[in-house]
Chains A and B, each alone.
Chain A
Amino acid sequence: MNSRKLGTLAGQAIDFAPQAKIEASQPASETPKQPRWTHIHAPDVRASVSGTAWRGMRRELKVFLANYNALFGTAILLLVALSALFAPLLYPGDPLEMVARPFLWPGQNPAYPLGTDSMGRDVLAGIVHGARISLTVGLAATALGLTAGIAIGAVAGYFGGLVDDVLVKFIEIFQTIPSFVLLVVLVAIAQPTTATVTVAIAIVSWPTVARLTRAEFRAIREKDYVLAARSLGFGHARIIFREILPNALPPLIVTSSVMVASAILMESALSFMGLGDPNRVSWGSMIGAGRDVIRTAWYLTALPGLAIVFTVLALNLIGDGLNDALNPRFSEDR
């Protein structure tokens, strides 16, 4: 029944047997039974050999590294990060100290390449130290906002029903209050320190993350591999952390870079208005200090402003690069 005879050639039947011929170069099958392991005999499994544990992310990394914009952004961010890191080495002491004659223009005195401000403070020292504040606040606020947002969004998206309804209302409350107003109010109530600014920015940014996470969880919850996990008896925690979250991360990663950028902008705005930590130099506070003399010593505003522009630009470029690398359109489905 399995073999159709093709007819005869001089009386000899030609017969297609269902077995495959075993190629000499291929590994022997485990047992000679047929037709069970016929599929082993064809060189089937794609030969993507790599011993690294990063094999799962290699393609994404390659796409990111091939993107010149993203590399440019990464380079700038690295520069900012390094200057922030080595600030106390490059410019030990307090950047708020007077060190020279006020209103030195950039280039006038090689010891102070970017000049001095109205109080005789070194602008370059200020920028380098300001980088610390910007990056610290940016990263910390984003980390906090992500944690809170992912936690709430995941729970809402995964459980649905009443839990979801309640949490969505909670998110909506935060989203209806104008974020900058809320930010100012929070900082005004609490003591204006770097820590409070960080927490305030986190409070203002978590709702967006929560919404995004909730949407991802709702979508991924219906995927077959999650259904399979449920039917295998996996508990809620395991499904949330091991099955859904790793697949929900790509859009969150992309969002996080943009979140750092907006956190830096928010911190600068607060410092500009004088609501930041008065004991620290921040790019925003430098812009604020230069506001009165903007007609004569505009470099006091422009230079820290440029620092902000480049940092935010770098983060946006990185975000775009991450988006291209992790975009589901190009990658396997999540």
Chain B
Amino acid sequence: MSLLSVDRLATHYSGTSGTVRAVDGVSLEIAEGETVALVGESGCGKSTLGKSLVRLVDPSSGSVTFKGRDVTAMSGRELQSVRRSIQMIFQDPFASLNPRQTIRTILTAPLAVHGIGERKRREAIAAEMVAHVGLPPDALDRYPHEFSGGQRQRIGIARALILQPKLVICDEPVSALDLSIQAQILNLLVEMKTELSLSYLFISHDLSVVRYFADRVLVMYLGRIVESASTSELWNNAKHPYTQALLAAVPDPSRRKQAAPITGDLPSPHNPPAGCHFHTRCPLATDICRAEDPALRQFGSGHAAACHHAQ
């Protein structure tokens, strides 16, 4: 049974300039112990999707089922208990920790809120967690500003894992870090996954990191999933033209001084093109693409793509 199952989730924002369909009918599944990556460029809705799963933003329609229970309808005590099982790691290490709290407070507060142990036990758990993520024990008494970006991200990871969740939504956790620190954090995440039997939803715009880190990849464009495949399948056999363009755009030493052609700008999420959202930039676009929105078609071995012309 899959750990998380999302069915036609939609999250709309209604602002002054009309409704933005940030997430426009997304369905996906995450199995236990699996790392699923969600890739896309700005405005594709991947961050909103992540937040909708944790109920930081309330979805407008569709359902999210976690371990068989519908999370979208929950509230109060029930939602609080589910919150222990789905946690989130944020992108900006400089904004994700309360600057006026010590690390001890940051880590013990979630335990206190969920009534785990009493003070001594909570402090022991916090100390253990701090050691687990590779920080020295005196870190507990310090404030966030005394740490570097990579270390703050470790604290963020400790905080997310201290309740021992089953699913962790990682929203661009390494994008704001230096290259050499990225490797440290990615290794830490892999280790934690094995130790605590976690599943990850890894949101990122960096395809190279995704290639290393994910088991399966979902590609999003303007609120919709346009392709879904295992990591190796996606890289070797991408079917959707947008995925192909994305892969071609990744800087490649072998293609000296020559960018792969993809024209045009990302359409605004306020005003997505009719039919297939990608048709304005797609080399294969025909009349049917302008008129009809393609559904995800299965191509065998878990590979699906939403394109009229894919084969």
Contact = CB atoms under 8 A, between A and B. Distances in A.
Whether chain A touches chain B in the assembled complex (some CB pair under 8 Å): yes
Interface of A: 27, 30, 35-40, 44-46, 48, 55-56, 223-225, 227-235, 238, 242-243, 246-247, 332-334
A38 B150 CA distance: 13
B92 interface: yes
23 contacts: A39-B184, A44-B151, A56-B143, A223-B95, A225-B97, A228-B88, A228-B159, A228-B160, A231-B88, A232-B87, A232-B110, A232-B113, A233-B79, A233-B83, A233-B110, A233-B113, A235-B113, A238-B109, A246-B100, A247-B98, A247-B100, A333-B94, A334-B99
Nearest to B171: A224
A40 B136 contact: yes
A11 B106 CA distance: 54
A225 B98 contact: yes
Instruction: List 10 tightest A-B contacts by C-beta distance, closest first.
Output: A233-B83, A224-B96, A224-B95, A232-B110, A224-B90, A233-B80, A246-B100, A225-B98, A332-B145, A231-B54
Given A36-B188, A223-B95, 4 more contacts: A45-B146, A46-B147, A232-B87, A334-B99
B187 interface: yes
A178 B10 CA distance: 48
A45 B142 CA distance: 10
Contact of B109 (A234, A247, A334): A234
A242 B113 CA distance: 12
Contacts of A40: 134-136
B191 interface: yes
Nearest to A245: B100
A333 B100 CA distance: 10
Contacts of A334: 99
Interface string B121-146: 00000000001001110110011011
B114 A233 contact: yes
Contacts of A39: 134, 150, 184
A237 B138 CA distance: 30
A242 B108 CA distance: 13
Contacts of B100: 56, 246-247
B179 interface: no
B134 A227 contact: no
Contact of B95 (A225, A230, A242, A246): A225
A230 B113 CA distance: 11
Contacts of B51: 227
Contacts of A234: 109-110, 113
Contacts of B114: 233
B56 interface: yes
B67 interface: no
Scoring A27, A48, A224, A230 by chain B CB atoms within 10 A of each residue's CB, the highest score goes to: A224
A247 B258 CA distance: 49
Given A227-B56, A228-B159, A243-B98, A36 B191 contact: yes
A12 to B, nearest CB: 28
B139 A45 contact: yes
